[in-house]
Amino acid sequence: MSDPENQKIRTLIARADSLVVTDPQLAMTTAEQAIALAHDAGDQEGYGQGLCSYAATLFFQSKYSEAHQAFREAQQVGEAQADQRLMARAVNGLGITSPQGTTHKSAVHP
């Protein structure tokens, strides 16, 4: 993957993250672009971080189950890549999207 491609993915993720609360629809579209670019480039970190951004947009639209699924996929990517930063972000998302009464262990490891 080229540096400009990598930078574009990171820029899209940062933009999506900055829009999550103020314009969730635009944030979602931006996160989807980052996910697609990262997938095509084989950039697993970018793909996982894009999933976390996408999941956050779902959370702020009260789509908790869908957000939980996206955070779960991001966690799996992080585990496969041994990416501690990505896993931490994904597990945090799993915590905030877990149904009430779910224990930490069952939220993180189904």
- Specify the CATH number of the domain 3-108: 1.25.40.10
- Is residue 101 over pLDDT 60? no
pLDDT in tens, 46-84: 999 999 999 999 999 999 999 999 999 999 999 999 999
pLDDT confidence of residue 102:
53
CA angle 77, 42, 73 (to 5 degrees): 20
- The domain segmentation of the chain, as residue ranges, is 3-108
Q: Which of 37, 38, 33, 29 is nearest to 58 (CA)?
A: 29
Q: What backbone phi and psi angles, to 5 degrees, belong to 99?
A: -60, 150
* pLDDT above 70: residue 110: no
H and E: helices and strands count for the chain: 6, 0
Q: Are 19 and 26 in contact (CB under 8 A)?
A: yes
pTM: 0.87
| Predicted local distance difference test score (pLDDT) of residue 109 | 53
Enter the DSSP assignment of 99.
P
State the average pLDDT for the chain: 91
